[in-house]
């Protein structure tokens, strides 16, 4: 039986062949049980629909392995269906705002999916957007159409449209609890004001004229901070790493790396960014020619890579219940070593008390 690390290497080889090399490699020799474990882990990592493309035309003799593979293939088709549902929802959302003269910038999600060989292969569950300073006006527009927003802990509100979570960012990144994010948020808002109408979201259709995307330089800042925030709170997924690899491959030569690296330094994010580059190079066998970030130290790369292969157990409790917060507290303290990488100059215990107070406010209904 292959180890989880060995199966992860198999997943990386398969994803590389589909996303970065675009070739059909020979499939590894695995037992039915090993393939089942591999598919399950690939699903957890957000890349199941990618590797299943290698099985679309594969003829397998009748067997347990065939039944299992067909089952996972059918499951992977949900990603494409979800993608189309999200595109339809984005068009609807843009239309609501267009009626009121509001422009919208879509973040990550479907925008990053356009970098994939087939956009529908990229899994995502929510829609993030920025209204160029008109967040409150956007909330009123949605309310007129029966869409109710609720406050979140920081930097965006949440609502649901067509059973999809939509997040209205009044800030690009979380600047309330992390002072190091202020320089990033200020820079992203400045770039949005200056260049934020330069890239239309053409994949939504020619009739959508008020929807835009981040510039490559904005994405280089936003994607790395988004990844680091997930790393601190839970883990990085392989899908996030392939988002970054494809971004570098397709858009890296359009990034103002001098400005990006300066902002990484000012926000203490450079150490994390260097670790990510080390993972891409040493663990995912991808050399990033369009990126001038140096590679992190191998010991850090190994530790972070191990946390990806063996992610923390998801919180099994209902959100915002006492058991939910107790479980989150346990995970929070287990992730202290991650905090030292991403927020090296910030007090971990002060952050805990800030989050605890927000949790209390949410439980008491003080955060609407």
Burial of 56 (0-12, 13-18, 19+ CB in 10 A): exposed
> ∠ CA 133-139-143 to the nearest 5 degrees?
160
From the CB of residue 332, how many other CB atoms can be counted at a distance below 10 Å? 18
From the CB of residue 17, how many other CB atoms can be counted at a distance below 10 Å? 19
* 368 pLDDT above the threshold of 60: no
Q: pLDDT digit string (tens) for 159-172?
A: 999 999 999 999 99
Q: For domain 4-311, is the CATH number 3.30.460.40?
A: yes
Residues of the chain with CATH 3.30.460.40: 4-311
The structure tokens listed for 244 are 């970054």
Q: pLDDT digit string (tens) for 185-195?
A: 999 999 999 99
* 350 pLDDT above the threshold of 80: no
Nearest to 233 by CA among 300, 344, 328, 127: 328
Tell how strand 126-130 and strand 104-107 pair up.
Answer: antiparallel
Predicted TM-score (pTM) above 0.85: yes
Mean pLDDT of 283-311: 94
Q: pLDDT digit string (tens) for 194-226?
A: 999 999 999 999 999 999 999 999 999 999 999
Q: Round the average pLDDT of the chain to a whole number and report it.
A: 91
Question: Residue 353: enclosing H or E segment and its boundaries?
Answer: helix 348-363
Distance CA 123, CA 112 (A): 10
Q: Which of 22-26, 70-74, 143-147, 353-357 has the lowest mean pLDDT?
A: 353-357
pLDDT band at 125 (very low <50, low <70, confident <90, very high): confident
Q: Which comes out higher in pLDDT, residue 312 or 264?
A: 264
Q: pLDDT digit string (tens) for 60-103?
A: 777 788 889 999 999 999 999 999 999 999 999 999 999 999 99
């Amino acid at each position: 039986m292959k180890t989880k690390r060995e199966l992860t290497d198999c997943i990386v080889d398969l994803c590389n062949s589909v996303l970065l090399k675009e070739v059909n490699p020979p499939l590894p020799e695995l037992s039915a049980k090993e393939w089942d474990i591999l598919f399950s882990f690939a699903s957890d990592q957000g890349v199941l629909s990618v590797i299943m493309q290698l099985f679309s035309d594969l003829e397998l003799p009748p067997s347990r392995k065939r039944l299992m593979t067909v089952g996972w293939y059918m499951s992977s088709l949900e990603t494409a269906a979800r993608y189309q549902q999200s595109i339809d929802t984005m068009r609807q959302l843009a239309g609501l705002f267009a009626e009121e003269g509001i422009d919208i910038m879509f973040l990550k999600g479907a925008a990053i999916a356009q970098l994939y060989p087939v956009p529908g292969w990229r899994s995502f569950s929510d829609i993030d957007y920025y209204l160029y300073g008109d967040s409150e006006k956007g909330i009123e527009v949605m309310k007129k159409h029966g869409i109710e927003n609720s406050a979140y802990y920081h930097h965006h509100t949440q609502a649901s449209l067509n059973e999809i979570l939509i997040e209205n960012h009044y800030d690009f990144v979380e600047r309330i609890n992390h002072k190091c994010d202020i320089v990033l948020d200020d820079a992203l808002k400045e770039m949005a004001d200056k260049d934020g109408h330069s890239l239309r979201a053409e994949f939504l259709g020619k009739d959508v004229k008020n929807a835009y995307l981040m510039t490559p330089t904005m994405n280089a800042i936003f994607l790395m901070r988004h990844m680091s925030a997930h790393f601190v709170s839970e883990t990085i997924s392989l899908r996030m790493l392939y988002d970054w690899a494809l971004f570098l491959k397709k858009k890296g030569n359009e990034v103002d790396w001098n400005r990006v690296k300066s902002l990484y330094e000012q926000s203490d994010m450079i150490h994390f960014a260097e670790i990510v580059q080390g993972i891409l190079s040493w663990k995912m066998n991808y050399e990033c020619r369009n990126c001038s970030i140096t590679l992190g130290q191998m010991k850090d790369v190994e530790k972070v890579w191990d946390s990806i292969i063996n992610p923390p157990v998801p919180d099994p409790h209902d959100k915002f219940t006492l058991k939910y917060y107790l479980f989150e507290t346990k995970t929070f303290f287990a992730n202290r070593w991650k905090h030292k990488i991403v927020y090296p100059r910030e007090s971990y215990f002060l952050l805990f008390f800030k989050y605890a107070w927000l949790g209390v406010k949410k439980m008491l209904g003080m955060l609407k």
